[in-house]
Structures are given as C-alpha cells and as structure tokens.
Chain A
Amino acid sequence: MYDKGKIITGLIVFVGLITFPIWYGFGSAGHLPNPEKPKNAKECVEAVDYMRTSHMQLLNEWRDDIVRSGGTRAGITHDGTEYIRSLQKGCMKCHTNKAKFCDECHTYTAVKPYCWDCHIQPKEAN
C-alpha cells in the first residue's frame, strides 16, 4: 500500500472539514427568531399557537371569503375586540414593524411570501 500516511491524513482532514458544521454548533441551538410582539395589543385574532403555525391559511381564508364570497370585513376576537380582516388594514395595525415581526421568522425559515409585492407595509422606524 503506497502513500498510506498521506491518504489517512487526508481522509481525517476531509472528514473533519465535512463534519465541521456539526461540531461547530454542538450544544447550542443557534440564533432563534425572536419576533417583536406589539406593545399596544395583548391578544391576536386567534390563539398564539394557531397563529404561529397557520397564519398563512388564515390569511388565505380571509382573502377568499372577502374577495370572492363577499364576506364580512369585520372580525371579533374571543375577548370581544373588533378587528379588520385585512393584512394591510388589520394585521399591520398592531404588528407595525414588518422587519422585526414578519421577517424575523421568514428569514430564519427561508420563506419568501410574495404578499409584499403588492401589499404596502407600514412605514418602519428604521
């Protein structure tokens, strides 16, 4: 067997490099998204868990109901707070900062919703 030393050293270096991401971040969960919650509101239109997993379905339902079925634009939460079923006029009235709320998770999960191609985000402070 020729060049035994070189090959084995090379293999060790190769395996080390390829597994670098695993042991580099070992023991830490990395940077987790931390969306900024609105200060002027305590509850959302649905439970937090539901909003976290299904806000996109909710938005689709609102859109189809209002645009196509002539559904009502006003909604009411369990606690009796009235809101407008609209991304621009509803959601973004509380979540006023898209960068610190929406983008925080969307960037983390590499999701690129095309909502903002048309819908106007509120003016941000930055």
Chain B
Amino acid sequence: MDNSRRKFLKLAGVSAIAGIAAPAAFNSLLKGEAFASGGGSGHGEDKAPTGKRYGFVVDVQKFAADKDLAQRCINACHTTHNVPDFGKDNKKDEIKWIWTETFGHAFPDHSQYKKNTQLVDLPIMTFCNHCDNPPCVRACPTKATFKNADGMVLMDFHRCIGCRFCMAACPYGARSFNWRNPAVKNEDGSYKYIRRPNLDFPTRMRGVVEKCNMCAERLAEGKQPACVDACRPTDGIIFGDLNDPNSEVSKVLREKFTIQRKPALGTKPSIFYII
C-alpha cells in the first residue's frame, strides 16, 4: 500500500513539473530563443528601430589599399578624446577606443578555412558597435552606460563605479578599464601619457571604464566623427543615419554586400563591413 502511494506521488510530481514547463519551453523553441535571439540575422530581417539610428560602414578594402590609414584613424580618435598611451610595455593597461583586429578575431563566426591570405591578413578597424540591443547597457548597475535616442551607446563617466560588468557583457571587447590614472602629470605640468591633450575634452580618472562615444561632442557641433574625418579623402569609414533612406550609409548598404561582427548574438551592431 505504501509503495503504490509513493509511486503515485512521484508520477503526480513529474507530470505537474512537465505541465508547467512544457508550454514555456515550446514557446521559446518556436520563437527561436534557443539560438540567442533571432539567430543569424542582422538588421535586415528584423524590424529596425524607428527614429534616428546612427551607424558606420567600414570599407575594409580602403584600409588594405592604404596601410597608413588605420593608424591615422586611431591617432585622430585618441588625440580628440585624450586617450592615454601607456606604451607598448604596458599592454594590459591599454585604453583603446578604436583599434585594428585580424579578420579571424573580428569575425570569429565566419570561416577562416582556406581563405585567401590577403583577406586573413587584412587589418579590420574595430570600435564600439553601438548595438541596437546593447548587452553592456543591461549589465550596467548604475546606468552609467545607456543608449540615447539616436542609437548611440554612451557613457556617463560621472556615474561609472568601475565594476566592469559592461566589459564582461560586451562581446566585442570594445571597452577599456582605467587601471591607472591617465591624467598623471610630469613636473613641468604636461601630461605623462597624453601626447597632445585636447583642452576642450576631459580626461578620465582611475577606476572608470571608457569606450568610443561616437564623437557625440563633435556631432553636437555638426561635425562628423573624428575617424570618419581622418579617412578623407577616401571613404574608408562612412557615417550616417541608418534609418534615413537618403543618407550615405543607407545608399552604400543598399548597393554593397556587408557583414557585421558576431550577428548570431542578436546585439544588432551598427557597424557594417564591406569586405
């Protein structure tokens, strides 16, 4: 008698759990949540967010043609924003807003198998993707990282407590932590790690995370981002409103085949690469 009651209770328990869990599991499978959100899709298949949505198109071939171009972009960005340079010996302290990656590191979900060497050796300009669905914003406990109305993922350095959750959340490694004080001064009052300080832009302090801010301060003055300007006269990086059908980026995106970094994660990056 005892034995059969136990069996009955077991059976009842299992069927209760199955009854509660099954619809949820089926629903998530139907929606495709099992493979991130919207697996494999970029901007095209999903409904694009409305309003302004700033983005970049990087023409990788322009950087292949001009070997110096990447460095010019990096210098332009880093001088504009007082990004410190701790030298090659201190790689772990490095602060980078825009940098180059190999094809394999930038696009790990694309096959590298038997790809031509010209492609594999190509330096790819990488910077904050200003995702439509940014994981860093969700991870930030103080809302220091936030997405503004124009689709820019920005940082309010005043609010950053340096927990580095955003660094862990970003799948693109686009964030750097200030392990040291970047604004250390020499005896003569010049900055030790900032070669040509831009007196109109602040530095950061030790213990905050920083990243590309899409040159929000330049856009407010009606200028283009510093890296885009540095690419002139070539159109190595094109900037504009992705939702405006008449913008330069939209025209290029309509005409050329482009790829995004790690599209399967569903973050919907706003940087498109012409390979």
Contacts and interface: CB of A to CB of B under 8 A. Distances in A.
A76 B206 CA distance: 35
Interface stretch (B41-49, B69-77, B146-154): B146-154
B156 A68 contact: yes
A63 B205 CA distance: 17
Interface string B146-174: 10111000101110000000000000000
Contact of B199 (A70, A117, A118, A122): A122
Contacts of B183: 117-118
A31 interface: no
A73 B205 CA distance: 24
B204 interface: yes
Contacts of A73: 220-221
Interface string A72-103: 01000000000000001100000000000000
A88 B200 contact: yes
Given A67-B156, A73-B220, A118 B204 contact: yes
A63 B158 contact: yes
Contact of B150 (A70, A88, A89, A119): A70
B269 to A, nearest CB: 22
A71 to B, nearest CB: 10
Interface of B is mostly: loop
B32 interface: no
B148 A120 contact: no
Contacts of A122: 199
Contacts of B203: 118, 120
B202 interface: yes
B69 to A, nearest CB: 29
Interface in A41-91: 63, 67-68, 70, 73, 88-89
B200 A89 contact: yes
Contact of B197 (A63, A70, A120): A120
Contacts of A120: 197, 199, 201-203
Most buried by B among A63, A73, A89, A118: A118
A70 B148 contact: yes
Contacts of B157: 118
A8 B197 CA distance: 66
A124 to B, nearest CB: 10
Interface of B: 146, 148-150, 154, 156-158, 183, 197, 199-205, 220-221
Given A118-B205, A120-B197, A120-B202, 4 more contacts: A70-B149, A88-B201, A117-B183, A119-B202
Interface of A: 63, 67-68, 70, 73, 88-89, 114, 117-120, 122
21 contacts: A63-B156, A63-B158, A67-B154, A67-B156, A68-B148, A68-B156, A70-B148, A70-B150, A73-B221, A114-B205, A117-B205, A118-B157, A118-B183, A118-B202, A118-B204, A119-B202, A120-B197, A120-B199, A120-B202, A120-B203, A122-B199
